[in-house]
């Protein structure tokens, strides 16, 4: 009885001693990092909830180097060797963590949300073909994209030359991806607006970061408290998009180049909800990524410091014939390619960690042995900046670094914007075609300039669950029609 008041403090002491023992004896202690990362993940979570994970981890890389411990069981890397091991070993690298459960749609797992290699490989065998570059550059798929790029330029010309153009780019990316998924039932949010634009806005203005992080870290509390939580942090809700995809998947006249047409082939044995889930996932994956990658890139190209790059880009794209989109995407245009690469390097639309588990038996990465079950990742933002021998002056936007044949292989090895290996971005060639055709459509007709009401703070990187967007959620540019004379300078 006398001991009862002592019981609680003793218990707490024992727990603290146990935590301390575990912290002191962890095999990860050799790895550099802030002292508190040995004991707790709270600082990391704090930055995550403030939409600041990417910057925080980058700061740690700058201080501690390319291998850094960020939480008791979590490690971040930024070297080419780590990328190869984590994302490419055995073809598709290490298995994904349950973080990806947050991206399930209609309660189903899609290619993106499968966690282990085998499930992933099975789904990828069905899908890959529709995103192969040889499919993207065929006249129908590519012609559809070129048509939408022309519509974007038309919208710029119509709207009094001041364009809320982040939204315009999301509309463009939305129309392009739905064309590839559902043609002839793609959207026209660029010029028609209405219902299609409403879907695009619903997906673009999603603000579910905190709610979904809470669900990830404290699933039981989330189940019990979700009604209360709703008052402070909204869950992801996209009813218009959900319905649109279910409806589009019902149509039975989809064009042979579309993903829908492929998924529905009976041989694959996918039920209608699997098909819809896969399409919804690709639709979501294709809007903010391509939209914001273009937005950050065009914002940068519009700055006075980058005007000389814009002039050279204009000169190059004006020389091509607009009626041959495929020859220009296939053959490549050196300056345009360099601008796109540098845009993806400086502003990767998914700048954040792509978390994976160290497989059974443990692995050695960057010289550090990591036991099975450790969470490891690389974030494109840091992979693109940490090696200053390959990317000197890494925070400066300079497309011309890509024109130097020396170091080309090293630069490409470190380009991680589309991730790498078997689980890298399946939509890469579609995204690249969209970006190039849009830049060609705009810069063969206009000079773009930042609007005076815009601030640096509007364009700060704001992390979402995995992608990142301009913090102000708006981007205003002025589109000034090009005069012949400007190009003769």
Ligand X SMILES: *[C@@H]1O[C@H](CO)[C@@H](O)[C@H](O)[C@H]1NC(C)=O
Interacting residue ranges for ligand X, rule: CB under 6 A: 47, 50, 52, 55-56, 59
| Beta carbon nearer to ligand HEM, 99 or 391 | 99
Residue 290 contact partner, candidates ligand X, ligand HEM, none, CB within 5 to 8 A by sort of partner = ligand HEM
**CA 75: distance to chain centroid?**
20
Residue 56 contact partner, candidates ligand HEM, ligand X, none, CB within 5 to 8 A by sort of partner = ligand X
Residue 168 contact partner, candidates ligand X, ligand HEM, none, CB within 5 to 8 A by sort of partner = none
Among 97, 289, 377, 440, binds ligand HEM (CB under 6 A): 289
Name the phi and psi angles at 296, rounded to 5. Answer: -60, -40
DSSP 54-95: HHHHHHHHHHH-SEEEEETTEEEE-SHHHHIIIIITTTT-SP
Least separation in angstroms between CB 37 and ligand X: 13
Least separation in angstroms between CB 46 and ligand X: 8
Residue number with the smallest Cβ distance to ligand HEM: 427
268-274's contacts with Cβ under 8 Å and 24+ in sequence apart are: 268/126, 270/126, 273/106, 273/108, 274/108
Question: Given the rule CB under 6 A, which of 75-83, 152-160, 283-291, 475-483 is the region that contacts ligand HEM?
Answer: 283-291
Question: Given the rule CB under 6 A, which of 186-194, 261-269, 287-295, 443-451 is the region that contacts ligand HEM?
Answer: 287-295
Decide: is 350 part of the binding site for ligand HEM (CB under 6 A): yes
| Beta carbon nearer to ligand HEM, 416 or 447 | 416
**Structure-block tokens of residue 317:** 């794209």
Least separation in angstroms between CB 51 and ligand X: 8
Residue 59 contact partner, candidates ligand X, ligand HEM, none, CB within 5 to 8 A by sort of partner = ligand X
**CA 434: distance to chain centroid?**
15
Torsion of CA 340, 342, 346, 351, to 10 degrees: 50
Among residues 26, 81, 87, 27, which one has the least CA distance to residue 369?
27
| Beta carbon nearer to ligand X, 59 or 147 | 59
Least separation in angstroms between CB 463 and ligand X: 10
Interface pattern 119-158 for ligand HEM (x via CB under 6 A): -----x----------------------------------
Total residues belonging to the chain: 489
User: Under DSSP, is residue 470 helix (H, G, I), strand (E, B) or coil?
Assistant: strand
Decide: is 423 part of the binding site for ligand HEM (CB under 6 A): yes
Burial 357-377 (b: 16+ CB within 10 A, else e): bbeeeebebbebebeeebbbb
From residue 233, how far is each of 106, 200, 208, 230, 468 by CA, in Å? 21, 21, 7, 5, 18
**Structure-block tokens of residue 469:** 């967007």
In contact, 166 and 473? CB cutoff 8 Å? yes
| Beta carbon nearer to ligand X, 93 or 348 | 348
Decide: is 282 part of the binding site for ligand HEM (CB under 6 A): yes
Least separation in angstroms between CB 347 and ligand X: 17
**Structure-block tokens of residue 375:** 């969470």
Among 141, 168, 286, 470, binds ligand HEM (CB under 6 A): 286
Least separation in angstroms between CB 425 and ligand HEM: 3
| Beta carbon nearer to ligand HEM, 163 or 430 | 430
- Count of residues in contact with ligand HEM, rule CB under 6 A: 24
Least separation in angstroms between CB 66 and ligand HEM: 19
| Beta carbon nearer to ligand HEM, 176 or 386 | 176
Name the phi and psi angles at 376, rounded to 5. Answer: -125, 150
363-365/368-370 β-pairing: antiparallel
Q: Whole-angstrom Cα distance, residue 361 to residue 176?
A: 44
74-77/375-378 β-pairing: parallel
In contact, 407 and 391? CB cutoff 8 Å? no
Among 82, 199, 200, 417, binds ligand HEM (CB under 6 A): 417
Q: Whole-angstrom Cα distance, residue 417 to residue 411?
A: 12
Among residues 176, 150, 209, which one has the least CA distance to residue 283?
176
Residue 55 contact partner, candidates ligand HEM, ligand X, none, CB within 5 to 8 A by sort of partner = ligand X
Question: Given the rule CB under 6 A, which of 137-145, 187-195, 224-232, 419-427 is the region that contacts ligand HEM?
Answer: 419-427
Among 172, 418, 446, 479, binds ligand HEM (CB under 6 A): 418
| Beta carbon nearer to ligand X, 452 or 457 | 457
Interface pattern 200-229 for ligand HEM (x via CB under 6 A): ------------------------------
**Structure-block tokens of residue 74:** 């979590």
Residue numbers 167-196 binding ligand HEM by CB under 6 A: 177
Among residues 260, 351, 281, which one has the least CA distance to residue 100?
281
| Beta carbon nearer to ligand HEM, 124 or 216 | 124
Q: Which residues contact 488 (CB under 8 A, 6 or more apart)?
A: none
Residue numbers 87-126 binding ligand HEM by CB under 6 A: 111-112, 124
| Beta carbon nearer to ligand X, 70 or 241 | 70
Binding site for ligand HEM (CB under 6 A): 111-112, 124, 177, 282, 285-286, 289-290, 293, 348-350, 354, 417-419, 423-427, 430-431
């Amino acid at each position: 009885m006398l001991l009862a008041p002592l019981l609680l403090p003793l218990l707490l002491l024992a727990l603290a001693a146990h935590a301390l023992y575990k912290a002191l004896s962890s095999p990860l202690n050799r790895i550099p990092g802030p002292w508190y990362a040995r004991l707790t993940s709270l600082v990391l979570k704090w930055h995550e909830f403030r939409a600041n994970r990417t910057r925080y981890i980058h700061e740690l890389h700058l201080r501690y180097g390319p291998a850094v411990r960020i939480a008791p069981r979590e490690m971040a890397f930024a070297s080419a060797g780590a990328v190869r091991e984590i994302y490419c070993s055995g073809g598709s690298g290490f298995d994904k963590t349950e973080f990806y459960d947050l991206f399930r749609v209609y309660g189903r797992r899609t290619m993106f949300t499968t966690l282990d290699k085998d499930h992933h490989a099975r789904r990828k065998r069905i899908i890959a073909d529709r995103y192969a570059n040889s499919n993207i550059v065929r006249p129908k798929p590519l012609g559809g994209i070129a048509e939408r790029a022309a519509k974007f330029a038309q919208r710029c010309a119509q709207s009094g030359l001041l364009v809320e153009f982040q939204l315009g780019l999301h509309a463009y990316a939305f129309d392009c991806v739905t064309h590839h998924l559902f043609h002839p039932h793609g959207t026209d949010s660029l010029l028609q607006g209405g219902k299609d634009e409403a879907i695009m806005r619903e997906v673009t203005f999603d603000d579910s970061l905190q709610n979904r992080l809470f669900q990830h870290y404290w699933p039981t509390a989330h189940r019990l408290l979700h009604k209360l939580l709703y008052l402070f942090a909204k869950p992801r809700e996209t009813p218009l998009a959900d319905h649109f995809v279910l409806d589009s998947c019902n149509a039975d006249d989809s064009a042979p180049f579309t993903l829908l047409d492929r998924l529905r082939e009976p041989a694959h044995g996918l039920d209608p909800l699997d098909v819809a889930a896969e399409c919804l996932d690709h639709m979501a994956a294709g809007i903010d990524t391509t939209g914001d990658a273009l937005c950050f890139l065009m914002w940068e190209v519009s700055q006075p410091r980058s005007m000389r790059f814009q002039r050279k880009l204009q000169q190059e794209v004006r020389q091509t014939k607009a009626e041959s989109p495929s020859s220009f995407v296939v053959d490549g245009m050196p300056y345009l390619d360099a601008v796109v690469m540098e845009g993806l390097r400086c502003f990767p639309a998914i700048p954040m960690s792509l978390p994976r588990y160290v497989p059974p038996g443990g692995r050695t990465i960057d010289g550090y042995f990591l036991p099975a079950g450790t969470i490891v990742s690389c974030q494109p933002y840091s992979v693109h900046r940490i090696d200053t021998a390959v990317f000197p002056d890494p925070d400066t936007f300079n497309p011309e670094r890509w024109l130097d044949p020396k170091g080309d292989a090293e630069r490409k090895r470190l380009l991680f914007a589309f991730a790498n290996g078997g689980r890298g971005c399946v939509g890469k060639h579609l995204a690249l075609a969209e970006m190039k055709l849009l830049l060609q459509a705009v810069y063969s007709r206009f000079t773009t300039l930042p609007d005076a009401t815009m601030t640096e703070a509007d364009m700060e990187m704001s992390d979402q669950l995995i992608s990142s967007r301009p913090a102000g959620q708006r981007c205003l540019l002025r589109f000034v029609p090009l005069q012949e004379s400007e190009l003769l300078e």
